[in-house]
Chain A
């Protein structure tokens, strides 16, 4: 291992590529280095996977399994009920209810797309709902029928304590058509 730190000479040599110099020892070091790097990368990924991942669930799944899920890191997605939004701007405390929407993209597609699913869910009082509590700024997109994706934990009283809140508005305009059909055709 005496070549660990190359001296002047070896640098000079390495600059000159026309010289072939088979160095098995250094190649072994390279392999060891590669293994160490790879192991470090794998360790980083695995440890971060353990600490930063959440189960992605629907409102219904959470309600069915609420006992075993309490305190676990979860993420869930649902349709926002506009009337339920309560926001204290002074304390930055936000709470609202979200309604069950399917978790599977295919099912959503079959039901007519996300925009329709969200609108139907928000209009159907018989679907499972859950209350979400969040501390922070009220996001611009938080409104009736928006899709909320919340990350956090379920507390003992069944309220979802969100640490992260992501909102998506259905961008497809078909969903907005019903409210506008009073317009007269022709232009």
Chain B
């Protein structure tokens, strides 16, 4: 009972503090003052502490298994491990909305705490309004502190306080437990990481809006937003990669990406922020692309709002969405208001943002980055269209039309291939044209090695043109990066100083690895399934699995676990024991499949227990070979490492390294 009140009251007070802060800031702005008063800071910090107390209270309600709380009933089961009882806080709509609003508040808190780059009043206002909006949504629409009441009419209802006279608090003996699909370690940390990635797009948006309103200091967007953007990109990338890993490990269909609306939506801010990080780099060097960068900073937050909208409102059918909810209307209007403010700001400062950019040549690094950004925006348009068209087609009368994943596969594949190609050649393009006239030893290496790889692929693996082309591009990119690193190695003492540049290479290497993984999953997979009795062997290529026996384990109170004991062989050589299984959850009347796999750098051998007959001791086993799939995760790790390395370099120090880098002795100069 205590933690119900502590949670509810501190949550309400947090909202009041934020509102008071917004009020004071508005009066400050009314008097044309642009600094944040100390009182607002104090209020805002108190709001964060109070908001944290609310989160803590809900956590305690979960850990103490207070089954009068409706949210606790929906996600907690007494037999769940303590870790899951905690992380269940983002396992359902109400709890995760509280966590999301708390993370937005956390970002506001960090922005206020950064001494070097003080927020101005407008930026604070934008940040605080967004925080209040989401906290308000959580408090008024999906309050996680709602309790279960037994009405006099013997019906149950959810409300904070007694909804009718004579209603009694109703306590369950046990809850339903977290959806078993969400219990994988990847899913346990995926939501907060993704939320943090999303929320970190808010400060760049707020800073851009503040600059557009004031029309001052339009030139330092990079310095002000780089750390936020890199952080956002980093967490978003990690979040998407974790989601994809989870899908592969848990969902049991052996895939990693399905162009599900929620997945596609989370990609939108990733596309805009990737484009933005690239063109900010050019703005730093050449003071151009300023309009573009402002638009992208605004768009990244808009796309984030859109992604949240799709995840939380269930307007588009998706496996991940929380199901239809009350929040679609307020969230929709909030998104519309954000869009209108963004458009208004851009129109207002359109002239001031002009930077006299003129297209000079097709083959300079800025042109290549421009092409890449056009491709990234092309992908954005495709994804938006793919998400919105089904919704709009229904709205404009007639039958609703939907897309299957082949729509996204067909439209995005050519763009992704071009993008990887540009990325692969970008490091050499500066010097290639001169190098073509006076071929250096590097250029031979750069062209010959990938060709050897392509030949090897054609002989041993596949003769499909698309596979060979993609292999060539990927190998070209990798060889270029290796050659560049070798050249730079002579000057390795400057490594730390030039780390922003190596961070970019690391990220690019990660993308190349991911491309390899995607290629493998598209063209080098195979599968077989069959009903097996103990002793049976099922072959797939050089490999085979032998089925030994079925094992049942009923020691867990929540589920019955059934495993098939398998042995994986390559030829006649024993490789590994595998034990794919199923957990049948008693309470939820749901079963989930536990795949088991043998992973190597060349790919996975992934097994599933599709069905079993305990009486007969038979099992239906599926064996899947997923070529090169682990490059997806390896590449994702490189992306994250690259992001961390880039983040370690302060934006203010960026101007120091590049000129020296290009003067490094022995480095193939541009031009």
Do A and B truly interact? yes
Residue numbers of A with Cβ under 8 A of B are 3-8, 10-15, 17, 20-23, 26-27, 29-30, 37, 41, 44-45, 47-49, 51-57, 61, 75, 77, 87, 89-90, 92, 103, 105, 108-109, 113-115, 137-138, 140-141, 143-144, 149, 151, 164, 166-174, 176-177, 180-181, 183-187
Stretch with Cβ within 8 A of A (4 or more), from B100-108, B118-126, B266-274, B587-595? B587-595
Contact of B252 among A114, A140, A171 (CB under 8 A): A140
User: How distant is the Cα of A89 from the Cα of B407 in the complex, in angstroms?
Assistant: 30
Q: Is the interface of A mostly helix, strand, loop or mixed?
A: mixed
Question: A140–B364 contact, CB under 8 A?
Answer: no
> Digit string of B173-193 for contact with A (CB within 8 Å is 1, else 0)?
100100101000000000000
User: Is B599 an interface residue when CB atoms closer than 8 A count as contact?
Assistant: no
> Digit string of B608-652 for contact with A (CB within 8 Å is 1, else 0)?
101100000000101000000000000000000000000000000
Which chain B residues lie closer than 8 Å to A143 at the CB level?
589-590
Interface residues on B, range: 35 or more
User: Is B81 an interface residue when CB atoms closer than 8 A count as contact?
Assistant: no
Contact of A180 among B172, B378, B430, B671 (CB under 8 A): B172
User: How distant is the Cα of A81 from the Cα of B544 in the complex, in angstroms?
Assistant: 37
Question: Given the interface contacts A15-B670, A105-B315, does A6 sit within 8 Å of B323 by beta carbon?
Answer: no
User: How distant is the Cα of A134 from the Cα of B619 in the complex, in angstroms?
Assistant: 20
7 interchain residue pairs of minimum CB distance: A187-B171, A89-B611, A52-B407, A89-B620, A56-B400, A173-B74, A90-B531
Which chain B residues lie closer than 8 Å to A37 at the CB level?
374, 378
Question: B590–A12 contact, CB under 8 A?
Answer: no
Min CB distance B246 to A, Å, is 14
Question: B406–A52 contact, CB under 8 A?
Answer: yes
Question: A166–B317 contact, CB under 8 A?
Answer: yes
Question: B324–A21 contact, CB under 8 A?
Answer: no
5 more CB-based (< 8 A) A-B contacts, given A8-B434, A45-B385: A47-B410, A54-B403, A57-B400, A105-B324, A180-B172
User: How distant is the Cα of A167 from the Cα of B251 in the complex, in angstroms?
Assistant: 12
Contact sample, A vs B, 8 pairs, CB 8 Å cutoff: A10-B361, A14-B361, A23-B360, A26-B361, A56-B394, A75-B402, A77-B317, A109-B324
User: How distant is the Cα of A144 from the Cα of B401 in the complex, in angstroms?
Assistant: 27
Which residue from chain A places its CB closest to the CB of B328 in the assembled complex? A105
User: Is B358 an interface residue when CB atoms closer than 8 A count as contact?
Assistant: yes
Contact of A27 among B93, B358, B437 (CB under 8 A): B358
User: How distant is the Cα of A183 from the Cα of B67 in the complex, in angstroms?
Assistant: 12
Contact of A140 among B287, B363, B382, B590 (CB under 8 A): B590
Question: A56–B324 contact, CB under 8 A?
Answer: no
Which residue from chain B places its CB closest to the CB of A47 in the assembled complex? B410
Question: A168–B319 contact, CB under 8 A?
Answer: yes
Q: Is the interface of B mostly helix, strand, loop or mixed?
A: mixed
Q: Which of B63-94 contact A (CB under 8 A)?
A: 66-68, 70, 73-74, 92-93
Min CB distance B576 to A, Å, is 23
Which residue from chain A places its CB closest to the CB of B609 in the assembled complex? A89
Which chain A residues lie closer than 8 Å to B68 at the CB level?
187
Contact of B404 among A151, A168, A185 (CB under 8 A): A151
Residue numbers of B with Cβ under 8 A of A are 66-68, 70, 73-74, 92-93, 150, 156, 158, 168, 170-173, 176, 179, 181, 251-253, 285-287, 314-315, 317, 319, 322-324, 358-364, 366, 374, 378, 381-382, 385, 389-390, 394, 399-404, 406-407, 410-411, 414, 430, 433-434, 437, 529-531, 589-593, 608, 610-611, 620, 622, 670-671
Question: B411–A48 contact, CB under 8 A?
Answer: yes
User: How distant is the Cα of A89 from the Cα of B400 in the complex, in angstroms?
Assistant: 34
Give the one of A5, A20, A49, A174 with max B CB within 10 A.
A49
Which residue from chain B places its CB closest to the CB of A184 in the assembled complex? B173
User: How distant is the Cα of A98 from the Cα of B488 in the complex, in angstroms?
Assistant: 63
Question: A183–B172 contact, CB under 8 A?
Answer: yes
Question: A54–B433 contact, CB under 8 A?
Answer: no
Give the one of A48, A61, A77, A164 with max B CB within 10 A.
A48
Which chain B residues lie closer than 8 Å to A172 at the CB level?
74, 323
Contact of B407 among A12, A53, A183 (CB under 8 A): A53
User: How distant is the Cα of A27 from the Cα of B361 in the complex, in angstroms?
Assistant: 10
Which chain A residues lie closer than 8 Å to B608 at the CB level?
137
Question: A21–B530 contact, CB under 8 A?
Answer: no
User: How distant is the Cα of A20 from the Cα of B360 in the complex, in angstroms?
Assistant: 10
Which chain A residues lie closer than 8 Å to B361 at the CB level?
3, 6, 10-11, 14, 26
Question: B73–A49 contact, CB under 8 A?
Answer: no
Question: B622–A22 contact, CB under 8 A?
Answer: no
Min CB distance B385 to A, Å, is 6
User: How distant is the Cα of A164 from the Cα of B670 in the complex, in angstroms?
Assistant: 51
Question: B176–A176 contact, CB under 8 A?
Answer: yes
User: How distant is the Cα of A187 from the Cα of B403 in the complex, in angstroms?
Assistant: 49
Question: A55–B401 contact, CB under 8 A?
Answer: yes
Question: B173–A6 contact, CB under 8 A?
Answer: no
Give the one of A55, A167, A173 with max B CB within 10 A.
A173
Question: B363–A54 contact, CB under 8 A?
Answer: no
Question: B359–A30 contact, CB under 8 A?
Answer: yes
Question: A41–B378 contact, CB under 8 A?
Answer: yes
Question: B317–A21 contact, CB under 8 A?
Answer: no
